[in-house]
Amino acid sequence: MYSQTKIAIPIFQEKYEDVIEVANDCIDKGADILEFRIDALKKPEIGEIKNTIEEINFPMIATNRINSEGGAFRGSEDERFNILYECCDLVEYVDIELQSDDEYIHKIHDSGVKTIVSYHDFKKTPDLNEIMYIVEKEHEMGDIAKVAFMPQNLEDTLTILAVLSHCNNTIAISMGDLGSYTRVMASKFESPITFAAGTDVTAPGQIDIETMKALLNMDLNIMEE
């Protein structure tokens, strides 16, 4: 018996050759999907980005994270969107933030790529009703909803588990050390994707890929006994 939750590893590198090197390392370590953090690139050029994706040739999420949600993209919003749009036919998923212009989200979704509509707050965790409202809006716009919040206490992490228990096709993460266990528990609720760290840690509380795989396998083995 194997977990249906796929493990994604983010790649956050400034140079294309380093993206490829880290990608190959993550694949060797057992990633199911790679998240290409395009916003980390020092010189994001669409031709080079496409060549890099094609050379890696592995299931991938294209993410060009906005500054206000922990990203590093330096260009305009139009440039940020256009890069993502150009990647649609080369990747399995495109991650675009809920706060992006609705037109941008619709264009990416209409391209046929699976769309992850995301929302991040690195300071706090809203109450359950507010998170459920966010998730509902994300599902209206795309295929998979993603929310990630910083907990202030253990109760906040339980709120995230409540979201997972109520919502299909949803990635819900409680960040930081306090919430790191929610990344493992995601498989219990058939969350489509959870995130682990390879070379690059892109969010507080990410667990390294080796530990994540061990925890998921241990949990499944216990269930079978």
Give bridge partners of residue 43 from the DSSP assignment: none
Out of 3.40.50.720, 3.50.50.60, 3.20.20.70, 1.10.3720.10, the CATH code matching 6-116+179-224 is: 3.20.20.70
Q: Show pLDDT as tens, one digit a residue, over the chain (225 residues).
A: 346 889 999 999 999 999 999 999 999 999 999 999 999 999 999 999 999 999 999 999 999 999 999 999 999 999 999 999 999 999 999 999 999 999 999 999 999 999 999 999 999 999 999 999 999 999 999 999 999 999 999 999 999 999 999 999 999 999 999 999 999 999 889 999 999 887 666 665 678 888 888 777 655 443 444
Known catalytic membership, residue 120: yes
Distance between CA 26 and CA 80 in Å, rounded? 25
- Listed residue (186, 219, 196) closest to 1, CA to CA: 219
CA distance 204 to 184: 15
- Of 213, 167, 220, nearest to 194 (Cα)? 213
Of the residues 29, 107, 146, 213, which is catalytic? 146
Copy the structure tokens of residue 116. Answer: 């992850």
Catalytic residue among 6, 106, 120, 123: 120
pTM, rounded to two decimals:
0.90
